[in-house]
Structure 1
Amino acid sequence: MHLTIIGISDESTPIFSSEVKERLVGDGVRFAGGERHRELVEAQLPANASWTNITVPLAPFLQEMREYDGAWGVFASGDPLFFGIGNTLRREFPDATVEVFPTFNSLQLLAHKLLLPYGTASVVTLTGRPWQALDKALVDNQKLIAVLTDKVKTPSTIAQRMLTFGYANYTMYLGERLGGSEERVRELSLEEALTADFIHPNCLYLQQNVTRPIRQGIPDGEFQTLEGRPKMMTKMAVRLASLAAMDIRNRSVLWDVGACTGSISIEAKLMNPLLDVHAFEVREESAAIVAANARRFGAPLTYHGGDFGGADISAIPKPDAVFLGGYGGKMEQLLDRVNTVLADGGIIGFNAVSDTSLGQFAAWAASNGYQQQPSSTIKVDEHNAINVVVVSKKLNGSYTEVDGS
């Protein structure tokens, strides 16, 4: 199979080089691209050219390519290797010979319009992807962030997420239908972006106005706590020791069951910005408290209110790390439920405040085939000593050691 992957603008009829034109007239070449690509290039294709529209999901298109093991001319937007179809095709057809003829991608076009030094930007694609890459760029205090959008993660939903989690310290520069007659480039505050109208496709840059401190190891007194119960929160020394013991930097999805004020969830997100954090709490008043704390410290997370034992968890990404912060007298029932969704090789962290709760947790872990990792005991000021315990779930019939260093 020979693949010629050609990058073009989404908005203007391309002028092909002689080298590209040679690839377009070969016998038996089949062509593919988006519907808009076809409109732009159809007049330059051979008469009776065979064309396949590339749509999502890609499986039917990839199967058609497997069935025709010949020459393909594939049209893509901008640079096909810049978060584009070229990467997918190289992965799916590793034995194919590939030629790539790129043009400017949309973020380059926008940077040229704005005279931005885009080589210094942190590049994030939200096109069909989750939020974590943007979370990381924000938590890491990146001064210039380049963002590829889609029809779900639009400029307005991006602005809403940033404001929700305290990142009002950026200006948005938006480019729409770049390269064509409907091109529009605008500077917007995040508040303006919430209600602005947008033309698709678009992309944007976020430029930082004020640097906010990177927080890890947050003093307890800075958290908003439950009214009248300021001590009902995992203390900083215990938080940090627990998350280190859980090897949280190498985890993907954390469920914080019994999140209370959200201190574990927030500290975990700041330690590992790519972590997908889900905080569960039954107390109704905790929703506002967790939201306020997450905004104050810039920790994007997902909050789930209500009783974890009866919640619908089918649509929530499955965890490879769970912290059991509270259990309301139902430890075994909650752990049983966690066990049904926890990934093989996943871990559960627990802070035991008494020998009874420690024994109960250890007994459940042993009876369910979990292996206890090295534990520690911490005493903070006048508070009771806390046992920091982590257990790991079997991975393919064996155990994984947790590197808590």
Structure 2
Amino acid sequence: MTTHWLTILGIGEDGVDGLSARARAALETAEIVMGPPRHLSLLAPLRAETCEWPVPFADGIPQLMELRGRRVVVLASGDPFWFGAGSVLTRHLDPAEWNAIPGLSCFSLAAARLGWPLERTTCLGLHAASLSRLRPHLARGARLIVTLRDGDAVPELCDFLCETSFGDTRLILCEALGGPRERLTRVTASDRPEGPFAHPLVAALEIGDGPALSLAPGRPTDNFQHDGQITKRPVRALTLAALAPRPGEHLWDIGAGSGSVALEWLLSHPTLTATAIERHPERAARIHRNALALGQDRISVVEGKAPDALAGLPDPDAIFVGGGLNATLLATLRQTAPGARLVSNAVTLETEALLLRTHAELGGDLLRIDLSSPAPLGSFTGWQPARPILQWSGRL
């Protein structure tokens, strides 16, 4: 027996003409139809009461909850569960209270127009997110389909591509796909077209030449702004290997400096999150800038000193302490994050002694890292050793 009171209905620019029989039946039996004005305008006259969804979007949730028990249809663009409103609505409801009738997503429509294999095309929802999220995906020959906020976002997108040295990227700007207003415009990012461009708007990108980010940890140091307080590139690679990020995990980066370890953690997988704890205000601000430049907005920066700054943070799956581990901090971590993986790099004898005692008590792995780099030696070149590092990794 059907018990749901809410139907989430995906609708395209072709309005009722593109709706299935099941979708039409939901509209015919609804008491109330809610949706943005543009979506409501796509429908034929209804017997149901209509209600415009307010702006900002979150203001409509309480209104919807007040209608619980009546037969309600909420209109959403295309497929509501692909960068759409579906998951936002259903998190407030029991599964028995709702059903969904998805339509064609804008990504499917764009791929069908362009002949692009969707399984090999990166799809991003940028209508309510920073364009910097594009940065990890910019590599020569890559294809992306992204949603945009509105027509004003087109020159902003072109500026971003030019600023990241991908100005020869080819764009296909897709307006109102699937409806009578559909239009495709082909341009190059460096042309910076001004429009106007109609909403809803999707941009398909064929990425040109430019400085792609490496996929491997231990990315070049010049990818990060820093004041010298940064985990060196090869040590970073070994540290990420020891942290062993897994999908969905959260990292504490204590004494984050430039945030390089936390940001490399995030670059490993799109479901990872991180908290960077840094006591110096200028370094904390620099972490924010590095995160923006690398397109990583799943990081929170806490300005403060551990262990006091750890109170109230999301539970970590892994913790990195690049320097400054002491007995007090270690005891706090063992109490507040039991079972979490800890990786600590020591450069002082005192911290080495602490890690050796910790290894004797908790086990785990020890690694001594000795690095040398070429440096002038008179009229010749010799190896200049860096300070050795002792790395301990294990579970608290």
Q: TM-score, normalised by structure 2?
A: 0.65
Letter in 2 for 1:40: L
C-alpha distance in 2, partners of 1:319/1:18?
47
Aligned pairs (5 A) from 1:5-404: 5-10=8-13, 14=17, 20-26=23-29, 29-41=31-43, 43-46=44-47, 49-55=48-54, 56-57=57-58, 58-68=60-70, 71-86=71-86, 92-96=93-97, 98=99, 100=101, 102-128=102-128, 134=134, 137-138=137-138, 143-150=142-149, 154-156=153-155, 158-159=157-158, 170-179=169-178, 183-193=182-192, 198-210=197-209, 212=212, 214-216=214-216, 218=218, 234-250=231-247, 251-252=249-250, 255=253, 257-259=255-257, 264=261, 267-272=264-269, 274-275=271-272, 299-301=294-296, 320=316, 323-325=320-322, 349-359=343-353, 374-381=365-372, 382-390=385-393
Given that residues 82 and 105 in structure 2 are in contact (C-alpha distance below 8 angstroms), is that contact kept between their aligned partners in structure 1?
yes
Number of equivalenced pairs: 365
Given that residues 12 and 78 in structure 2 are in contact (C-alpha distance below 8 angstroms), is that contact kept between their aligned partners in structure 1?
yes
Q: CA deviation at 1:109?
A: 3.4
Deviations 1:121-146 (A, max 9, x none): 2222234467797555447x782112
Given that residues 284 and 306 in structure 1 are in contact (C-alpha distance below 8 angstroms), is that contact kept between their aligned partners in structure 2?
no
The DSSP-based 3-state class of the residue aligned with 2:10 is: strand
Q: CA deviation at 1:45?
A: 0.8
Q: CA deviation at 1:235?
A: 3.9
Please, which runs of 5 or more residues in structure 2 have no aligned partner?
373-384
C-alpha distance in 1, partners of 2:19/2:119?
27
CA separation of 1:133 and 1:256: change in aligned 2, threshold 3 A: farther
Deviations 1:295-341 (A, max 9, x none): 9xx9445799998659xx99xx96845544466xxx77x969x97xx
Q: CA deviation at 1:352?
A: 0.8
C-alpha distance in 2, partners of 1:344/1:133?
33
CA RMSD of aligned residues (A): 5.3
CA separation of 1:105 and 1:234: change in aligned 2, threshold 3 A: closer
Q: CA deviation at 1:263?
A: 5.2
C-alpha distance in 1, partners of 2:209/2:116?
18
Q: CA deviation at 1:206?
A: 1.9
Given that residues 348 and 391 in structure 1 are in contact (C-alpha distance below 8 angstroms), is that contact kept between their aligned partners in structure 2?
yes
CA separation of 1:97 and 1:150: change in aligned 2, threshold 3 A: same
Letter in 1 for 2:389: I
In percent, how many aligned pairs have the same letter?
Answer: 23
The DSSP-based 3-state class of the residue aligned with 2:172 is: strand
